Amino acid sequence: MTGTQRKIREITEQFRLIWKEPLLFISILAIFYFLLTFVAFPIFQVFKTSLYINNKLDISNYLAIFSKRYYFQPFLNSMILGVCTATIGTIVGFIFAYALTRTTLPFKNFFRMTATFPIISPPFVVALAAILLFGRSGSLTPYLTKIIGRYSIYGLGGLIIVETIAYAPTAFLVLYGILQAIDPALEEASMDLGASDIKVFSTITLPLATPGIASAWLLVFIQSIADFGNPMVISGDFRVLSVQAFLQITGMYDLSRGSTLAILLLLPTLTAFFVQKYWVSKRSYVTVTGKPTGAMIKKIEWYIKVPVYTCCVVFTGIIFLFYGMIVYGSLQTLWGVDSTLTLKNYVEMFQVGKDYLIDSLTLSTVATPVTGILGMFLAFLIIRKKFMGRGLMEFISMLTFAVPGTVVGIGYILAFNQKSVLFPFILTGTAWIIITLLIFRNMPVGIRSGIASLQQIDPSIEEASTDLGADSNITFRRVTLPMIAPAFFSGLAYSFVKAMTAISAVIFVVSGKWNLITVAILGFVDNFKYAQAAAMSLTLIFIVLIALGIIQLIVNRIGKGARTIEIVG
């Protein structure tokens, strides 16, 4: 039998199996429709709009971007910012991961929790803290001015600082898992043979961690150049693509030019995503001979411990300084003018921002369970079912993870502000456009979590259910879903956090009737009401922590504490 005949036979068998379960077939078709409508179609609309001016095909936008420094400079700035942030963030993340997995660092749980704390807050909260600390009326500005002279937190330097703090936790989480997977017995054996700590690190630990380091770097790079909130708050004259695309559309009302800038922003993020997913992820140098006996090397010399521990303490101190300043700033009567402590900012925040808070909670509560269920079902289809287009389904479902929020937001206002063949309804200005954006924007992490869980479950368990007469839907609901419940609730946790703290994509689709607390915070910052913005930011963080605590209790009850929630941004 030739390869072509074998392929045809496999496809025929797949169709035969699917036709035996019409509900599964309908579900697959429905999933494809939703992915094409709410993922692929908006991105296509951005690309299409960038090529049309006054309904005529015109590439002058691209010619202008590549010929005029005014338009091309934001691209260069974004790349510079992304490279600097990814490099520093990956170094910090690796040091933290190394300290927690390879040394006897005391209070490991404390350091791990602190290192990941920025993930649960809106990224631009760090930029707000930087303004409160180092801005024109910052608490530390007078002292720093005496030491180093005049400086400005606004610009490239300030952006690198705040984005490193915001996104280094992503690198830490990736590298923590990688270093845990390397059996420390390999390094111990090398030490027993007389190799120094530096030699062991350079010849064993670092080479084995290389795929993880590359993956972490690319993920932080994607997050950095796609970041909207921090540059919007603190970039100053340092123009970046994400903000320029937003300003072209909301300030200049130039959809075509804004879409072109968005496409320019899309190219490096997609490239980095595909390199990370399809090249780096397939290159593993880890050798594990059995289960690691404990991710820690017993003998680490002081000249390694001291700088590693110092870095951990300093970064932890910076996080406490920044978030402590948010607490202090929220209690100021008028930031920079009257430092009298008061609670009136919280009162004003509830008076002004109550509707924003209710809208955020309502929309996030509706979107989160749908995101979790859809993510788990997609993971089930990708791992457990064989059908034509399965690879395409996985590719499209993961696309929004690589696409910057600015591009997604622009795509949604272009795709759903009028009726189309794919979707004969207008969503612009309604709650549904925000809900669908949140669902399909946050779904990829739930899918990856479900895939990782399903790969650990023996398929024979589900096959036994099928042999007893249950179809795929019953097997999924009664057998598979209970076994992947911890991963399901982890996906819920991530979805809720990201829904509550979203800004880059949703800022394009909010309306007078439906708005979000993150947009309100950004509005306070734009109006220099830093104390009120700090109060609202703390309220948002507090709500997210409560929700995560509730989800963690559910996970512990279902999984009997076997797993803990991991939030990977």
Mean pLDDT of 98-107: 86
Residue 119 has pLDDT above 50, yes or no: yes
Question: What structural domains does the chain harbor?
Answer: 1-55+338-569 (1.10.3720.10), 72-330 (1.10.3720.10)
Give the whole-angstrom CA distance, residue 488 versus residue 472: 18
Of 58-62, 66-70, 148-152, where does mean pLDDT reach its minimum? 66-70
What pLDDT score was predicted for residue 293?
Answer: 45
Burial string for 265-276 (b: 16+ CB within 10 Å, else e) reads bbebbbebbeeb
- Per-residue pLDDT band for 562 (boundaries 50, 70, 90) equals very low
167 class by beta-carbon count within 10 Å (0-12 exposed, 13-18 middle, 19+ buried): buried
Q: What is the DSSP letter of 480?
A: I
Please name which of 108, 86, 88, 89 lies closest in space to residue 99, comparing C-alpha atoms. 108
Q: Measured in whole angstroms, how far is the alpha carbon of residue 505 from the centre of its chain? A: 12
Give the whole-angstrom CA distance, residue 350 versus residue 554: 30
What pLDDT score was predicted for residue 292?
Answer: 45
What pLDDT score was predicted for residue 563?
Answer: 40
SS3 (DSSP) at 423: coil
| 121-173 residue pLDDT tens | 887 899 999 999 998 888 888 888 888 888 889 999 999 999 999 999 989 98
Give the whole-angstrom CA distance, residue 360 versus residue 540: 10
Neighbours of 81 (CB within 10 A): 24
Strand 332-334 versus strand 338-341 pairing type: antiparallel
What pLDDT score was predicted for residue 3?
Answer: 59
Mean pLDDT of 454-480: 73
Give the whole-angstrom CA distance, residue 431 versus residue 427: 8
Query: What pTM does this model have?
Result: 0.83
SS3 (DSSP) at 488: helix
Residue 289 has pLDDT above 50, yes or no: no
List, in order, residues 6 or more apart from 303 with CB less than 8 Å away. 197
Give the whole-angstrom CA distance, residue 366 versus residue 361: 9
What is the full DSSP assignment across 86-105?
Answer: HHHHHHHHHHHHHHHHHS--
What pLDDT score was predicted for residue 412?
Answer: 93
Radius of gyration of the chain (CA): 25
H or E element in which residue 338 lies? strand 338-341
| 189-226 residue pLDDT tens | 777 777 777 787 778 778 888 888 888 898 899 889 98
Alpha helix segments (H runs only) across 505-564: 517-526, 530-559
Give the whole-angstrom CA distance, residue 148 versus residue 159: 19
Alpha helix segments (H runs only) across 331-456: 344-384, 390-402, 405-415, 431-454
- Whether residue 61 contacts residue 257, with contact meaning beta carbons closer than 8 Å, is answered with yes
Residue 287 has pLDDT above 60, yes or no: no
Give the whole-angstrom CA distance, residue 229 versus residue 242: 9
> Quick one: tokens of 122?
């809106």
Mean pLDDT of 367-375: 90
The mean pLDDT value of the chain amounts to 82
**448-to-275, 339, 476 alpha-carbon distances in Å:** 17, 47, 17
> Quick one: tokens of 555?
């996970």
Please name which of 457, 487, 458, 459 lies closest in space to residue 559, comparing C-alpha atoms. 487
Higher-scoring residue by pLDDT: 499, 445: 499
Residue 54 has pLDDT above 90, yes or no: no
User: At which residue do the structure tokens 């036979």 appear?
Assistant: 9
**How far apart, in Å, do the first and last CA atoms of the chain sit?**
47
Give the whole-angstrom CA distance, residue 414 versus residue 76: 27
Give the whole-angstrom CA distance, residue 451 versus residue 453: 5
Residue 290 has pLDDT above 50, yes or no: no
What pLDDT score was predicted for residue 257?
Answer: 86
